[in-house]
Amino acid sequence: MTSSFSNLSLAEPLARAVAEMGYESMTPIQAQAIPVVLTGQDVMGAAQTGTGKTAAFSLPLLQRLLKHESSSTSPARHPVRALVLLPTRELADQVAQQIALYAKYTKLRSTVVFGGMDMKPQTIELKKGVEVLVATPGRLLDHIEAKNAVLNQVEYVVLDEADRMLDIGFLPDLQRILSYLPKQRTTLLFSATFSPEIKRLASSYLQNPITIEVARPNETASTVEQRFYSANDDDKRRAIHQVLKTRGIKQAFIFVNSKLGCARLARSLEREGLKTAALHGDKSQDERLKALEAFKSGEVDLLVCTDVAARGLDIKDVPAVFNFDVPFNAEDYVHRIGRTGRAGASGLAVTLVSGSDARLVADIEKLIKKKIDLEAIEYEEDRPRGRINDGRRAWREAGETGDPRDVIPAAVRERNERREPRESREHHRGFRPAVASRDPFFEKPYEPSSADTAPAWEAAAKSPARSSISANIKPKRKVAALFKAVQPETSTQ
Ligand code: AMP
Q: Which atom of ligand 1 is nearest to the CA of 25?
A: 19
What mean pLDDT, rounded, does the chain reach? 78
Same-domain check for residues 191 and 292: no
If you measure from the C-alpha of residue 451 to the centroid of ligand 1, how many angstroms do you get, rounded to a whole number? 20
pLDDT tier for residue 314 given thresholds of 50, 70 and 90: low
Sign of CA dihedral 268, 269, 271, 277: negative
Sheet order of strands, 210-213 included:
110-113, 132-135, 82-85, 156-159, 186-191, 43-46, 210-213
pLDDT of residue 192: 80
Most confident of 86-90, 389-393, 409-413: 86-90
Residue that is last in its domain, among 347, 376, 405: 376
| Rounded CA separation 445/393 (Å) | 13
Using alpha carbons, select from 356, 341, 369 the residue that is nearest to residue 252. Answer: 341
Is residue 35 a part of any domain in this protein? Answer: yes
Of 32, 90, 95, 98, the one to substitute when testing ligand 1's pocket (max ligand atoms within 8 A of C-beta) is 98
Q: Which residues pair with 352 in a beta bridge?
A: 229
| 43 phi/psi in degrees, rounded to 5 | -130, 140
Same-domain check for residues 184 and 307: no
pLDDT of residue 385: 45
If you measure from the C-alpha of residue 52 to the centroid of ligand 1, how many angstroms do you get, rounded to a whole number? 4
Nearest protein CA to atom 14 of ligand 1, as residue: 52
pLDDT of residue 481: 31
Same-domain check for residues 191 and 323: no
Q: What is the mean pLDDT of residues 64-73?
A: 96
Residue 130 CA neighbour count, 13 Å, CB half: 24
E strand or H helix at 236, and its extent? Answer: helix 236-247
Q: What is the mean pLDDT of residues 404-424?
A: 40
Of 20, 24, 27, the one to substitute when testing ligand 1's pocket (max ligand atoms within 8 A of C-beta) is 27
Same-domain check for residues 100 and 180: yes
Of 54, 158, 160, 214, the one to substitute when testing ligand 1's pocket (max ligand atoms within 8 A of C-beta) is 54
Domain hosting 81: range is 5-213
If you measure from the C-alpha of residue 51 to the centroid of ligand 1, how many angstroms do you get, rounded to a whole number? 6
Residue that is last in its domain, among 342, 376, 410: 376
Is residue 89 a part of any domain in this protein? Answer: yes
Is residue 335 a part of any domain in this protein? Answer: yes
Q: Which atom of ligand 1 is nearest to the CA of 23?
A: 20
Same-domain check for residues 136 and 233: no
Same-domain check for residues 172 and 39: yes
| Rounded CA separation 57/160 (Å) | 10
E strand or H helix at 347, and its extent? Answer: strand 347-353
Nearest protein CA to atom 8 of ligand 1, as residue: 52
| Rounded CA separation 490/480 (Å) | 12
Helix axes 53-65, 28-38, angle to 10 degrees: 20
Q: Is the pLDDT of residue 5 over 80?
A: yes
Using alpha carbons, select from 249, 157, 163 the residue that is nearest to residue 454. Answer: 249
Between the alpha carbon of residue 30 and those of residues 1, 36, 60, the distances in Å are 10, 10, 10
pLDDT of residue 477: 36
| Rounded CA separation 142/91 (Å) | 19
Is residue 53 a part of any domain in this protein? Answer: yes
pLDDT tier for residue 215 given thresholds of 50, 70 and 90: low
If you measure from the C-alpha of residue 298 to the centroid of ligand 1, how many angstroms do you get, rounded to a whole number? 20
Same-domain check for residues 178 and 291: no
Backbone Cα Rg of the chain: 24
If you measure from the C-alpha of residue 56 to the centroid of ligand 1, how many angstroms do you get, rounded to a whole number? 9
Sign of CA dihedral 422, 442, 313, 216: negative
Alpha helix ranges (H) inside 113-170: 119-128, 137-145, 162-168
Contact 42, 193 (CB under 8 A): no
Q: Which atom of ligand 1 is nearest to the CA of 51?
A: 2
Contact 465, 453 (CB under 8 A): no
Number of independent structural domains in the chain: 2
Please classify residue 427 by burial: count the beta carbons closer than 10 Å to its beta carbon, then call 0-12 exposed, 13-18 middle and 19+ buried.
Answer: exposed
Between the alpha carbon of residue 416 and those of residues 100, 383, 420, 421, 422, the distances in Å are 55, 11, 7, 9, 9
Please classify residue 465 by burial: count the beta carbons closer than 10 Å to its beta carbon, then call 0-12 exposed, 13-18 middle and 19+ buried.
Answer: middle
| Rounded CA separation 454/275 (Å) | 11
E strand or H helix at 335, and its extent? Answer: helix 330-337
Amino acid residing at 480: A
Nearest protein CA to atom 11 of ligand 1, as residue: 52
If you measure from the C-alpha of residue 30 to the centroid of ligand 1, how many angstroms do you get, rounded to a whole number? 10
pLDDT higher for 171 or 473? 171
Q: What is the mean pLDDT of residues 469-486?
A: 36
If you measure from the C-alpha of residue 311 to the centroid of ligand 1, how many angstroms do you get, rounded to a whole number? 16
If you measure from the C-alpha of residue 314 to the centroid of ligand 1, how many angstroms do you get, rounded to a whole number? 9
Of 58, 101, 314, 317, the one to substitute when testing ligand 1's pocket (max ligand atoms within 8 A of C-beta) is 314
| Rounded CA separation 134/111 (Å) | 6
Q: Is the pLDDT of residue 237 over 50?
A: yes
Same-domain check for residues 237 and 160: no
This prediction has a pTM of: 0.57
Same-domain check for residues 366 and 310: yes
Among 17-26, 101-110, 344-353, the range scoring the smallest mean pLDDT is 344-353
Q: Is the pLDDT of residue 491 over 50?
A: no
Is residue 361 a part of any domain in this protein? Answer: yes
The conformation of residue 413, written as its DSSP 8-state character, comes to H
| Rounded CA separation 232/398 (Å) | 37
Between the alpha carbon of residue 287 and those of residues 135, 291, 455, the distances in Å are 21, 6, 22
pLDDT tier for residue 455 given thresholds of 50, 70 and 90: very low
If you measure from the C-alpha of residue 82 to the centroid of ligand 1, how many angstroms do you get, rounded to a whole number? 20
Same-domain check for residues 170 and 115: yes
Same-domain check for residues 150 and 250: no
The enclosing domain of 354 has a CATH number of 3.40.50.300
If you measure from the C-alpha of residue 55 to the centroid of ligand 1, how many angstroms do you get, rounded to a whole number? 7
Alpha helix ranges (H) inside 104-211: 119-128, 137-145, 162-168, 171-179, 196-205
Nearest protein CA to atom 6 of ligand 1, as residue: 50
pLDDT of residue 136: 96
Q: Which residues pair with 305 in a beta bridge?
A: 255, 279
Is residue 304 a part of any domain in this protein? Answer: yes
- Summarised one tens digit per residue, pLDDT across range 381-391 is 644 444 444 44
Is residue 203 a part of any domain in this protein? Answer: yes
If you measure from the C-alpha of residue 4 to the centroid of ligand 1, how many angstroms do you get, rounded to a whole number? 14
Q: Is the pLDDT of residue 364 over 50?
A: yes
Is residue 421 a part of any domain in this protein? Answer: no
Same-domain check for residues 172 and 56: yes
Contact 34, 26 (CB under 8 A): yes
Residues with CB under 6 A from ligand 1: 21, 23, 26-27, 30, 49-55, 314
DSSP helix/strand/coil, 287: helix
Nearest protein CA to atom 18 of ligand 1, as residue: 23
Residue that is last in its domain, among 171, 188, 213: 213
Q: Is the pLDDT of residue 469 over 50?
A: no
Nearest protein CA to atom 1 of ligand 1, as residue: 52
- Summarised one tens digit per residue, pLDDT across range 174-204 is 999 999 999 999 999 999 878 888 999 999 9
